[in-house]
Structure 1
Amino acid sequence: MSQHHGKVWWTELMTRDVPGALKYYRAICGWHFEPFPMGGAAYHVGSRGDQPVVGVMDLNDLPGTEDLPPHWFSYFAVKDVDRAVEETLARGGEAIRAPFDIPHIGRIAILRDPTGAAMGLMTPA
């Protein structure tokens, strides 16, 4: 894992128009998309060739996001997400969602860094 520490590990488009987004990014980036089960929320994985590169999530399926505009959201790889959360809190950041596990994907936390920017940290599986 140490060779991945600090890398941008995953990026998601959070949108209210999934069909429009898929159409646009197919044309502009050449990505192809497959649905991915995410417990009720519409989610698609975009790939370049056989390499997954992005996720696309429907904001309409997520409670509490009514006022959020569409945006890209990145996750950074860290060796130990629990320790990184503790350090973020100690440095004045905020936990939006405490660490949780996604089988075969990794352990993830959603945070605000000390400057207020939202991001994800994850220890990949």
Structure 2
Amino acid sequence: MTRDVEGAKAFYGAALGWTFAPMPMPDGTYWLVMAGGEAPVAGLFDIHMMDDTQMQPHWMSYIAVDDVDARLEAAVGAGGSILRPPFDVEGVGRIATVRDPEGAVTGWMTPVEPS
């Protein structure tokens, strides 16, 4: 997540040889990151897509789960909180953002089955 998408693309492209493919979203462009092939290895987007101008630029890890909706109920029951409710990304999966009781933030995703 960055405030300067073009600057981040320039840096990681030059430093790591990454290339980028746009994936239009309702609230902006999500950039798929490729490292030496056609399969995406990461994603890049403008922090403003999260509606959070106070957030600092950072990388976020995602955890694959069997049923994101059920796991979110368990997370809240265990003292966590939901920062971004579940949403679907066509061809990718169902995603939510979770904060654990100590404040660590991760994305949780139920990936779509490969076709």
Displacement of 1:55 after TM fit?
0.8
Alpha-carbon separation, structure 1, partners of 2:75 and 2:101: 7
Q: Is structure 2 residue 51 aligned with structure 1 residue 59?
A: no
Displacement of 1:61 after TM fit?
4.2
Query: 4+ residue runs of structure 1 moved beyond 6 angstroms?
Result: none
Supply the RMSD in Å over aligned alpha carbons. Answer: 1.3
Alpha-carbon separation, structure 1, partners of 2:64 and 2:39: 18
Q: Secondary structure at the match of 2:27?
A: coil
Q: What amino acid is aligned across from residue 50 of structure 1 in structure 2?
A: E
Unaligned runs of 5+ in 2: none
TM-score by length of structure 2 reads 0.88
2:77 to 90, 106, 110: 90
Between the two structures, name the one with larger relative contact order (CA 8 Å, sep ≥ 6): 1
Q: Is structure 2 residue 66 aligned with structure 1 residue 45?
A: no
Identity %: 46
CA separation of 1:118/1:103 partners in 2, compared to 1, >3 Å: closer, same or farther? same
Alpha-carbon separation, structure 2, partners of 1:15 and 1:98: 21
- Equivalent residues in 2 for 1:1-125 (5 A)? 14-48=1-35, 49-63=37-51, 65-125=52-112
Unaligned runs of 5+ in 1: 1-13
Q: What amino acid is aligned across from residue 122 of structure 1 in structure 2?
A: M
CA separation of 1:62/1:84 partners in 2, compared to 1, >3 Å: closer, same or farther? closer
Number of matched pairs: 111
Q: What amino acid is aligned across from residue 109 of structure 1 in structure 2?
A: A
Displacement of 1:72 after TM fit?
0.7
| 1:68-99 deviations in Å (ceiling 9; x for gaps) | 11111121101111121111111100011222
Higher normalized strand content (fraction of residues): 1
